[in-house]
């Protein structure tokens, strides 16, 4: 019996029909790849690499927030005034017969200034003295009458009613004598007032009358103006924002044009009232002027140095920014300039007191960058400097 051959070849072989098919596919694929007429899909080009934007870094100078003391200089225009000024007239009316001073003269206390005609007042003194003499004589006569009346009354010759009348008459006479004495004293005082003397040492700021003028009492005729210039008083109107800062005894410097250096003095008085129209209060300082170099009325720039405030937070003045009504400082935080709102206190020539907003040792931007640098920008600290001491 013949053995039939199956579709499979030798053991483990591949069927002939399948092998031929595989060979044909391989040949076709090889021709398709290597053939000159065959198209080949070009490889895709790589996408261009995008350049990443580099954030600029700005070099800045900084200072550290420090604790220290600050003295705020408060400056204001002011004037030097006479410590006292008197517009002197007369207390008795009459014709001015002599004026002893001229404008610009310096006079001592009690020095004669001018005289009013004495003659009418001398006559008044003589009349008052005569009335006093008469009142005294009447009083003596009544005293004698009363003494005799009492003797007569003891002998029951004089009635009690008559004795009472004598006593009353004596009381009236004594009162008249006292009145006459007062009239004489007034007449003598008026006579003394015809010579007007300086109430204190000073300078004659003005002479307003001449000899021959009639001086009146009401309204009073002003003859001379006297100013005390051995010590002047500087006055300045200070804005009310400094009301709590200035106290008596604070150092003050007076800058006067023409003098090589300022005059050092101290605050002598601080007004308790703020002017509602100007929102200022008055501060006064005494200014010694023994050589009369200074003149009342001259202008002065007054600088007041209140007592120092200690242990406060300080930053340099050029670290402060003011924009759109806000006060800020650029603090360096995590490599960036951060705008920090701050509340400020006293201000000196170099530093500013920070009341709220910053911490000790925090770095803040100073110099030109503090004004021009935009908040949020990256920064690099260069040439850092110490904060205000």
Note the pLDDT tens digit of each residue in 73-86.
Answer: 899 999 999 989 99
Contacts of 315 (CB under 8 A, 6+ apart): 63, 65, 329, 351, 352, 354, 358, 364, 387, 388
Q: What is the dihedral of CA 260, 266, 268, 271, to 10 degrees?
A: 90
SS3 content of the chain, % helix, strand, coil (to 5): 25, 40, 35
Instruction: Quick: pLDDT tens for 333-362.
Output: 999 999 999 998 888 878 999 999 999 999
The whole-number pLDDT of residue 160 equals: 87
Q: Answer whether 224's CB lies under 8 Å from 105's CB.
A: no
Q: Do strands 363-366 and 57-64 pair parallel, antiparallel, or not at all (unpaired)?
A: antiparallel
Q: Answer whether 248's CB lies under 8 Å from 265's CB.
A: no
Task: Locate the domains of the chain by residue range.
Answer: 61-70+309-381, 118-192
The whole-number pLDDT of residue 243 equals: 86
**CATH code of the domain occupying 118-192:** 1.10.287.470
Mean pLDDT score of the chain: 85
Contacts of 34 (CB under 8 A, 6+ apart): none
Instruction: Quick: pLDDT tens for 142-153.
Output: 999 999 888 888
Separation between Cα atoms, residue 192 and residue 194, nearest integer Å: 5
Instruction: Quick: pLDDT tens for 198-236.
Output: 999 999 999 999 999 999 998 999 999 999 988 999 999
Q: Is the confidence at residue 179, as pLDDT, over 50?
A: yes
* The architecture CATH gives domain 61-70+309-381: Beta Barrel (2.40)
Instruction: Quick: pLDDT tens for 86-114.
Output: 999 999 999 999 999 999 999 999 999 99
pLDDT band at 2 (very low <50, low <70, confident <90, very high): very low
Residue with more model confidence, 84 or 17: 84
The whole-number pLDDT of residue 47 equals: 57
Separation between Cα atoms, residue 236 and residue 80, nearest integer Å: 9
Residue with more model confidence, 299 or 245: 299
pLDDT band at 46 (very low <50, low <70, confident <90, very high): low
Bridge-partner residues for 196, per DSSP?
114
Residue with more model confidence, 207 or 54: 207
Q: Is the confidence at residue 37, as pLDDT, over 70?
A: no
The whole-number pLDDT of residue 10 equals: 45
Question: Which tokens in the block code for residue 176?
Answer: 């008249």
| Lowest-confidence pick of 9-13, 311-315, 383-387 | 9-13
Strand ordering across the sheet containing 94-99: 195-197, 112-116, 94-99, 214-215
Separation between Cα atoms, residue 76 and residue 238, nearest integer Å: 6
């Amino acid at each position: 019996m013949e053995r039939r051959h199956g579709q499979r070849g030798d053991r483990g072989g591949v069927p002939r029909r399948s092998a031929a098919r595989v060979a044909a596919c391989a040949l076709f694929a090889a021709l398709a790849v290597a053939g000159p007429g065959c198209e080949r899909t070009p490889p895709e080009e790589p996408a261009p690499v995008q350049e990443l934007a580099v954030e600029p870094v700005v070099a800045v100078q900084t200072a550290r927030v420090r604790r220290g003391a600050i003295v705020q200089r408060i400056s204001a225009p002011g004037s030097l005034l006479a410590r006292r000024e008197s517009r002197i007239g007369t207390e008795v009316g009459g014709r001015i017969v002599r004026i002893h001073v001229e404008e610009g003269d310096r006079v001592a206390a009690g020095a004669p200034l001018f005289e009013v005609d004495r003659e009418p007042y001398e006559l008044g003194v003589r009349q008052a003295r005569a009335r006093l003499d008469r009142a005294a004589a009447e009083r003596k006569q009544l005293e004698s009458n009363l003494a005799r009346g009492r003797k007569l009354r003891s002998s029951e010759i004089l009635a009690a009613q008559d004795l009472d009348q004598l006593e009353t008459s004596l009381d009236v006479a004594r009162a008249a004598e006292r009145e006459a004495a007062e009239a004489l004293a007034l007449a003598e005082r008026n006579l003394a007032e015809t010579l007007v003397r300086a109430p204190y040492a000073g300078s004659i700021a003005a002479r307003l009358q001449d000899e021959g003028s009639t001086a009146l009492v009401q309204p009073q005729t002003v003859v001379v103006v006297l100013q005390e210039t051995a010590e002047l008083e500087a006055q300045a109107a200070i804005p009310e924002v400094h009301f709590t800062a200035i106290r008596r005894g604070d150092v003050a410097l007076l800058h006067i044009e023409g003098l090589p250096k300022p005059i050092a003095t101290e605050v002598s008085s601080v007004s308790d009232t703020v002017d509602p129209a100007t929102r200022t209060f008055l501060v006064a300082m005494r200014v010694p002027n023994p050589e009369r170099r200074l003149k009342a009325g001259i202008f002065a720039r007054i600088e007041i140095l209140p007592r120092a405030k200690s242990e406060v937070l300080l930053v340099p003045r050029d670290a402060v920014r003011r924009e759109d009504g806000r006060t800020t400082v650029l603090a360096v935080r995590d490599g960036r300039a951060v705008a920090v709102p701050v509340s400020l206190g006293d201000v000196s020539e170099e530093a500013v007191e920070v009341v709220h907003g910053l911490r000790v040792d925090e770095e803040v931007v100073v110099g030109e960058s503090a004004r021009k640098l935009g908040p949020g920008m990256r920064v690099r600290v260069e040439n850092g400097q110490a904060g205000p001491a």
